Each structure stands twice: as C-alpha cells, then as structure tokens.
Amino acid sequence: MVEITPIPLSRLTTLQTGAAPDRMVDAATADEIVDALRDVWSRDEEWFVLGGGSNLFAGDEPFGGTVIRILSTGIEHLDSPHSGRHRLRVQAGHNWDDLVAYTVEHGLAGIEAMSGIPGTVGAAPVQNVGAYGQEIQETLVEVELIDESTGEVEVVAASDLGLGFRTSVLKHHHGGAPIRRAVILSVTLDLAEVGDEGRTIGGEQLRRALGIIGDEKVSLARVREQILEIRAAKGMLLNSDDPDTSSAGSFFQNLIVPEVVASQLPPECPRWPVHPDLDAETVIPLESYDGQIPAAQVSRPEVKVSAAWMIENAGISKGFRLPRSRAGISTKHALALTNRGRATAGELAELARFIQARVHSEFGLLLQPEPVLVGVDL
Ligand SMILES: Cc1cc2nc3c(=O)[nH]c(=O)nc-3n(C[C@H](O)[C@H](O)[C@H](O)COP(=O)(O)OP(=O)(O)OC[C@H]3O[C@@H](n4cnc5c(N)ncnc54)[C@H](O)[C@@H]3O)c2cc1C
C-alpha cells in the first residue's frame, strides 16, 4: 500500500463532488487492503473505501480521515460443484464492466444484462447491483471480506449478506453505519456455461428491453451489445462527452411500500409486485419443538412503485434545474441527478431536497437516495 497526496473526490466520483480528504492510501492487492485497514483501525481514524466512485455522493467539506482506494484486479477460474457451470473469483478492485465483457467472451452467462454498470466488482454486492431484471445475488456464491469488528478475513456466503433490493448488510444507508462494517476483498460467482450459442431469455424485463417475443436463443454478445446501446440512450453509460452521465445512476430508489399505500396512488403510477421469499425457512430448535408446526406467517403484500413516475408527475421534468444551479435532472432520465459542470454537493443536495419535498407533498411518500452519502445530509 502507498500513501498518496490526497486527490479531490470530485475527480474520483461520477457525481464530481467532494474535496480532497485528509489522507489517501492506494491498495493494489488484497493483502495491501488488509494492511491499510488494520493500520487505520489501529489509529482509530475515520475511514472509507473507494471503488469507482459511481455510487457515492461526497460533501463539500474535506473528509477528516483516510480514504483507501481499492485497486486490486484479477480473475481466477474455479470448478463449480454443479455440472454445466463455472466459477470465477474476482478481486475487489476489478472493473465490473470488464468482468462482464470477460464472461461474455468466455460464454459464461448470468451477469450479461448488467453490462455497462460502472464501478468495481467489490462494490457490486454492497448494493446488490442489478439491471434489466438481473441482480448479482442470482450468481453470487460468496465473498471474502475483512470485518472491522474482528479485524479478521473471512469467507461469507451470499445468503449471509442480507442482499435485497439495492441493499445488503454492508451498505451505508443515508449517511448512517451499515449493519456490518466490512470490506470485500474478492467475489465468487457461479455462472452457466452456454458458449457462443447463448440461451433463451426468461426474465420479462430483459425480454421487453431486447424486444424478444419467441423462445429463440440469444447470444450473450447480442445481449451485451443491445444493453450497452439502451444504456447509452438513457445516459446510463459513462461517457465524458455526455453530461447526462455525470451522475450516480439512479439517485432515487423505486419505493417498496405496503399494497394498501400503493393503492392510494393514481392507477397510472407503474408498480410491480414484490414477491415474498418463498424459500425462507423457520427453524424450530429441537429443545422447544412441542410437536406443533406453527401456521405459516402471512406476510403483508408489498409493491414496488416508480420513483421516476412520481417525480415527473409532481411537475418536475427531465432537464429540470433550479434557478442559477449547476445541478440538474438528466435530460434523458428523471431519476438521475447530474452535475452540469462544477456543481457543488450543496447544489446537488438542494435539488434532491426540492424533488423529495415536491413528491412528498403530491403523493405523501419520501423518496430515498440510492447512493452512499459521505458528509452530506438530505
Ligand atoms: C451512469 C451510472 C449508471 C448506473 N447504473 C446502475 C445500474 O444499472 N444498477 C445498479 O445497481 N447501479 C448502478 N449504478 C450505481 C453504481 O454503478 C453501482 O452501485 C456500483 O456497484 C458502485 O461501484 P463503485 O466501485 O463505483 O462504488 P463506490 O461508489 O466507490 O462505493 C460505493 C459504496 O460501496 C463501498 N465500497 C466500495 N468498494 C467496496 C468494497 N470492496 N467492500 C465494501 N464496500 C465497498 C464504498 O465505501 C461506498 O460506501 C450506476 C451509476 C452510474 C454513475
């Protein structure tokens, strides 16, 4: 690991905000990440790790601690215990989209619909990245991480990461501490070997995006190519020539609300059922088993509702800017807050609060930010 002259976070984050932190360390291998973390923990300093900076909203005041840049790369091939499948163990700092391109080239299916998502592999499980109906939790086997509470490296199964809609136990929500403060060192994925032939596409969202009607097989290369085109048209593919991509992707999350709340929204508001976890098991300890199997718990039905629709129907259209502000909504996507050129975090936060207030007064719901906030309050 090497301590470097701190670089302003505005140059390392896609929202382009944030001053230089007090201290910055580059860690190019898993061992260096471990050393850097043990070093800051021994000094009891504030810290956070930085991947591609594409899901981070950094405040204008300098961060008063150490930022560790995760720069480890590398892909290892492992056998899968399942026939027709193949495992890859990937270092945390590896570029996510380079990994997707690699899997497509090697005929390995499972993450191709997530082509073009910026950032690093290690950050992907943190918010369970997903696009077009595919999420990393479908192929994630385990991660190797180092936990702040023990200072030890361990392997944690995907099922123990609390993966949900753009969340996990590792994610800092709204500037708060995560349930588990840990840093991912590597990620293991289990992918289907489909070769050049590709496979039939099952997910409705992806079928719709690709315009597939029948049951024809679609090559992974075609999925990737089309997804990259769709993302570019929506300003969701990083491009220094396109100011609509100076964002953190979707700034606000679609909201998951009880069905009864969703039923009070106008019927035109797009909504999708959230399926309860049918695999969830209740374990009854043998000592307390009295021969009775308790009735299955009835979970309250929940619905995911469109944040983009609520924003646009609260009177805020694509391209909207507050007077004299250098922050604006993308001209292509209502959910993306963008930096139109040297906007401060204060200007972006002002726009975010304005949108939250308008949506709240129109629909009674508070939109929640998706990026991790460091030194900013909404
Ligand atoms: C144009 C654009 C489009 C996007 N589209 C999508 C999309 O379609 N779907 C989607 O899900 N997301 C999308 N995003 C959001 C973002 O790309 C992802 O969340 C990505 O996984 C963030 O990776 P990163 O390396 O940039 O993380 P960073 O922004 O560097 O970090 C994000 C958080 O993760 C933590 N972190 C980083 N690395 C690690 C690690 N190794 N271990 C533990 N914590 C870590 C950081 O401390 C921080 O709290 C988009 C963003 C942009 C700018």
Q: State the burial class of residue 295 (Cβ atoms within 10 Å of its Cβ: 0-12, 13-18, 19+).
A: exposed
For 204, the enclosing helix (H) or strand (E) is helix 204-210
Compute the distance from residue 118 Cα to the ligand 1 centre, in Å.
7
Average pLDDT (55-81) is 97
Please report which confidence band the pLDDT of residue 114 belongs to, taking 50, 70 and 90 as the band edges.
Answer: very high
Could you tell me if the CB of 130 is within 6 A of ligand 1?
yes
Compute the distance from residue 125 Cα to the ligand 1 centre, in Å.
9
Active site residues: 166, 250, 370
CA distance 185 to 220: 28
Which distant-in-sequence residues (6+ apart) come within 8 Å of 369 by Cβ? 57, 174, 251, 252, 253, 352, 378
* Model pLDDT, residue 294: 62
CA distance 95 to 90: 10
* Model pLDDT, residue 214: 85
Could you tell me if the CB of 163 is within 6 A of ligand 1?
no
Could you tell me if the CB of 122 is within 6 A of ligand 1?
yes
Query: How are beta strands 56-58 and 372-374 bridged, if at all?
Result: parallel
Task: Say how far residue 207 (Cα) sits from the centre of its chain.
Answer: 22
Q: What is the pTM of this model?
A: 0.92
* Model pLDDT, residue 172: 86
Per the CB < 8 A criterion, the answer to whether 20 and 336 are in contact is no
CA distance 372 to 354: 19
- The atom of ligand 1 lying closest to the CA of 182 is 43
* Model pLDDT, residue 279: 46
Please report which confidence band the pLDDT of residue 366 belongs to, taking 50, 70 and 90 as the band edges.
Answer: very high
157-190: pLDDT as tens digits: 999 999 998 999 999 877 678 899 999 999 999 9
Give long-range contacts, CB 8 A cutoff, 24+ apart: 166-171. 166/127, 166/128, 166/129, 166/130, 166/253, 166/370, 167/127, 167/128, 168/125, 168/126, 168/127, 168/128, 170/125, 170/126, 170/145, 171/126, 171/127, 171/372
Could you tell me if the CB of 55 is within 6 A of ligand 1?
yes
pLDDT of 373 over the 50 cut: yes
Average pLDDT (99-107) is 98
pLDDT of 298 over the 80 cut: no
248-268: pLDDT as tens digits: 999 999 999 999 999 999 999
- Residue 24 DSSP one-character state: E
